[in-house]
Structures are given as C-alpha cells and as structure tokens.
Structure 1
Amino acid sequence: MDFVLKEEHGFSYIDEGEGEVLLLLHGLMGSLSNWDGVVNQFKSKYRVLIPILPIYDMPLITTGVKSLSKFVHKFIKFKKLSNITVLGNSLGGHVALVYVLAHPENIKAMVLTGSSGLYENAFGGSFPRRESIDFVREKVQYTFYDPAIATDELVNDVYKLVNDRHSVIRLLAMAKSAIRHNMKKDLHKMQLPVCLIWGRDDKITPPEVAVEFNELLPNAELHWLDKCGHAPMMERPDEFNVLLGAFLEKIKE
C-alpha cells in the first residue's frame, strides 16, 4: 500500500482523492490493503476514505458490531461527511448495515461484498489451533477460491493475531457479536440503493446469503463473480471495479 495513513483525533485512516465520498470498511481480519484496487481505481473521481476499525482496541465488554458502528459514526462526524456511499466486506458490511439502520440520513448508497449480518461460517466452522501455522494457512486459504491469494505475509499476519491473547479474545467476542446481531428483521427498512457483489465460491458467506440479502433489501441488485471467494475486491479486483463503477454511475445525481 502506497497511501498515507493519517493519524488524528484517535482515528487512523486513509483519505485519498476528492469528490463524492466512498467510505470503505474492512473485515474482521481484514486490513486497509484489502481495498488497494478500489482506492487506485476510484481516487481520481471520488474521495475514498478507509478508517482502521478498532476491533482489537475496544474494552472487551463493549467489543461488538454496534460499538464499531458507533465508532464509524464518530469518524463520519469528525470528518463532516455526508452523501456517503459505504462499502463493506465481511464484518465491515455488517457494520455498514447497522450504521445505515441508525443513520440513514448520512448514507446515499451501500455496497456489500461477502457481508455478514445474516449468516457466516467463520474459519470454516472452527477456530485455528494456535500452535499450527499450517492450520492457519489452511483456514486463510479457505477465504479465497484461489489459495495462492493467501500469501505468506497474509498467513503470518493472521498467525500473529491468533497467537496474541489480547487480540484473540476480542476476535472471538467480535465474531460472537456478529452471529448474535442478525439483521434479517431490519433489512426491509433500508430503502437506499444497495449493490451486492458476491463470489460464487464464497464459503464463509455462501451464495444463499447473497440471495437472501437481495430478496430482503427493497432496492438491491445482485452481481456474481465466478471463481471468487469471500473477498472479491482482492481476488477479482478488475471485475469488482467494473461492477462498482457501473453502480456508482447509475446512482449519480
């Protein structure tokens, strides 16, 4: 990642380009670099912001999806943002859903890709044995259709994370919060335009999750990417950006 990480007012974030705001929210074990392709493609026409979500920095008692949504609200107020298109992957999509429900006035449109909020099969139904980097590698590869996307760097980052007691406790708490906080009964209230971009081979939030989102959100459109897993913006960045660009053009005022 070649972008400048800004630090102010307790926030760490990337802020690139000018124009209408694209706010990108990463997943539970995601990072800012997951969105490199989107930033590079759209920073010439949009203002692209990515805050680091404080998944491992909150008090354990408040670690959850709602707390992350409140953090996003504080960030939006601090940066004085409005008319936002919010994009969320995995847990980031779930946070976007909770935020839109609470503050629909700030959000113009939403893009969900591999979003939790209905059902997710985190780590393939089990948590990695912390002593085994091979097991961690297997579970990181499970995220993608192409296991080669799970680079040594990515595997080592996750291995460090699950071997840090402070972090792993919060990781489990956040995952449990996401499972408890099911959005099914609230989706009909969200009238804004929604673009669902989903990997047909997503094993964590499988295709039936995307179909259900599409059925329950009143103003949604669903697009599939073949040979693609849980993080389409990483695994199929060019195709993802084409779909995203078409959606952004469609919702232009």
Structure 2
Amino acid sequence: MQFHRRWYLPKVISFDLDDTLYDNVPVMQRAEKAVHNYITEQFPQTAEWDMHHWRRFRDEVSRTDQALASDMTKLRLKTLELGLKKFGIGDVSKAANTIMDVFLSERSNFQVPYNSFELLEALSQHYKLIALSNGNVDAGKIGLAKYFDQVIQPGDGIRGKPLPDMFAAAQRELPNLQPHEFLHVGDHPYSDVLGAQRHGWQSAWLTSGLGTSEHLSVLPTVTLHNLSQLQQLLLD
C-alpha cells in the first residue's frame, strides 16, 4: 500500500467491477468464443472472419464515434450490424440484437470470488457502496447488485469513464457530500484513476487488475496491490 495524495476517510466507496472484484479476462474469452461460434453457425457466410477480424473491426468502429467508444453495448451492436451488412445479411438489426443476447447471457455467466462478497458485506456495514462500470455485466445475475445503492453503467445518455457522466450521476444522488468524500476503487489507470481524480474524487488503484504503472497519467490517492489491503485501509 502506498499513498500519493492527501488521504481522507471516505463516506462513499465506488467500485469498478470488471478486473477489480473478479478476473474478467477468462469471462470475456468464453463469451467471445460462444458468440463467434453462434455467428458462424447461424450465418455461415461470415466464416471467413475469425474472432480477431471481429475484434479489429470493432476497434475501427469505435474510432468513428467517441460515444460508441464509451458504451460497449452500443459499440458491439453497431459492430455486429455493420459487420453482418458486409456479408449481405438481411435485417441486420434483428440479427445483431439476437447475437447480443447470446453475448450478454454468457458475459454474466460466472462466479464472483467469495472474498469479494466478504469484502463488500463488511464494507456495507460502514459505508455507502456504489458501482461504476464501463462494462455490461449484469450485477444482479452475478450476485453483486444487492451490495450497491447504485449500479451505474453507460447508456441512456451516460458515457463511460473517464468522462465525468458516471461520477456526476452518482454524486447527484448524494448532493450533500463533497467530491473528496467519494473513493473510487478500480484497476484501470485511465478510466478509473484519471476519471476519479478529474472529478475531484479520491482513487484507489488496484494493481492486481489489467493496468500497469506505465499507463498512469495521474497518480491515484493510494495504490493497493490486492483487495485485502483495501479492507485493511478502510476497516482495520
């Protein structure tokens, strides 16, 4: 544990979900594989595109619209529609939504580690908890929603982190609190650390996720190497 900025004991703790409270990499790998299998079975004319083709195409689509880049559900839908259209498939909107249903089902089909449930249960006795996730996991389906007063994800005009929308939406529900009374916990140097610090929140960067120090553009309030250190910081 290492402090980089002045520390205030928070009143609200917000959590990123993917790669913070669970390892999301194998989840996404399984979901991507299941979706690709479904696409090639239902639309065999697309078989020349493997998973890497679809991923590269999604990256291309994301660069055309900043709003899409911060909303993974809309981005995936747009990618599917445009990709299927390239292969001459009719009613691409209906087809894309059916494929998206397959993805969302697989994407939330996993077990959250027990220690994450234990941590949230313990913290919820002392702090208000919220979730701010750029992803499209179903927090209720994986058993996390019950711990959070709010679960905020991109959509309905709310853009993803590090843009201010999600932080501002959370703060509107708690207007009597100052920004420094919020602590955001996440693994991503850009969306989590930069996003929180830009909004005046404290940030706890969890190094056990996907981010590395080379990706930090601003220092977090505190660097943590695992969730046990978060419990030590807030409860011990």
Please give the TM-score of this superposition, normalised by the length of structure 2: 0.37
Tell me: higher relative CO, structure 1 or 2? Use CA pairs within 8 A at least 6 residues apart.
2
Larger Cα-atom Rg: 2
